[in-house]
Amino acid sequence: MRAQSNWGFAAVVAGLVWSATALGQESSANPAFGPGEQAQYRVKYLGMTAGTAQVTVGAPMKQWGEDVWPIVAVARSDALIGVWPIKDKFVSYWKADTQRVVGSDLHADENGKRRRQRIKMQPDGKSVFVVKQKEGEAPRESTAEVVEGTLDVTGATFALRNRELVVGGEYAYPVFTGSKSFTMRAKVESRETLKTELGTQEVFKTRVQAEFGGSLTSKRDMFVYLTTDARHVPVRIEADFALGTVVAEITDYEPGRTMAVASAESGG
């Protein structure tokens, strides 16, 4: 399973599992998630169990002077023939009051090759500062212009959970991965029931279009199944990449604390 990309497998798994609105148009007074929330997933590659993913909403903290909730995704591969050893950690710094991200940190260890990437949103909201470093090499710094309200993929799969989802609803979020910008689009196609390890769940079947690139180029649209309750928990993700078919299935879930936060300003 050559789960390489320009920004790490954990970031992809986190993005597939957790998406947020980039527009901040919905009230976050009653967010669907909060600090302490944790979900475990079994990741299958070509029908075989290939690894696990864990996504946790951490305790409130300060990052670059901002009050944030760290959303931490850790992805690990199992020791199977044909699967590269992977241990990635991706942290997205989420501002609950504005439903934005202030940046992210990636620590990737894939096939014995380690690298780091840090993205920091600049105060103008229209540019980012990026630092990339491979093990044994000097860090490389760059800046890039982005659309105001741009998120990382994790940030773009968390405010969606805060939205009022309806069948036929369509949502679009600007995303920056550290190497490229694209618009992630989601459409709720249907309401159905799905058997999971947590029992039978009523879910929204949501079609997602993204442009990861490289071995993670999508051969078709992805599907994310979100529970129809207020938490909108992703319980299954299906993706058909150039490297092969990947499916993530929920195996355990712990809700976080309910925290009232200020509403984001519409269009702000």
pLDDT tens digits, one per residue of 113-136: 899 999 999 988 899 999 999 999
The string of pLDDT tens digits covering residues 221-263 is: 889 999 999 888 999 999 887 777 889 999 999 988 765 454 3
Q: Is the dihedral of CA 121, 256, 7, 248 positive or negative?
A: negative
Nearest CA to 21 out of 205, 174, 128, 237 is that of 174
- Does some domain include residue 41? yes
- Does some domain include residue 105? yes
CB atoms within 10 A of CB 15: 28
Q: Is residue 207 packed enough to be buried (19+ CB in 10 Å), middle (13-18) or exposed (0-12)?
A: middle
Beta strands in the chain (DSSP E): 38-45, 48-57, 61-63, 66-77, 87-95, 100-110, 113-121, 127-134, 140-145, 170-176, 181-196, 199-209, 222-227, 234-241, 244-254
Nearest CA to 61 out of 52, 70, 73, 53 is that of 70
Range of the domain at 162: 37-254
pLDDT of res. 96: 86
pTM of the model: 0.83
- Does some domain include residue 101? yes
Stretch 94-107: mean pLDDT: 90
- Does some domain include residue 20? no
Q: What is the DSSP letter of 263?
A: P
- Does some domain include residue 51? yes
Task: State the total domains in the chain.
Answer: 1
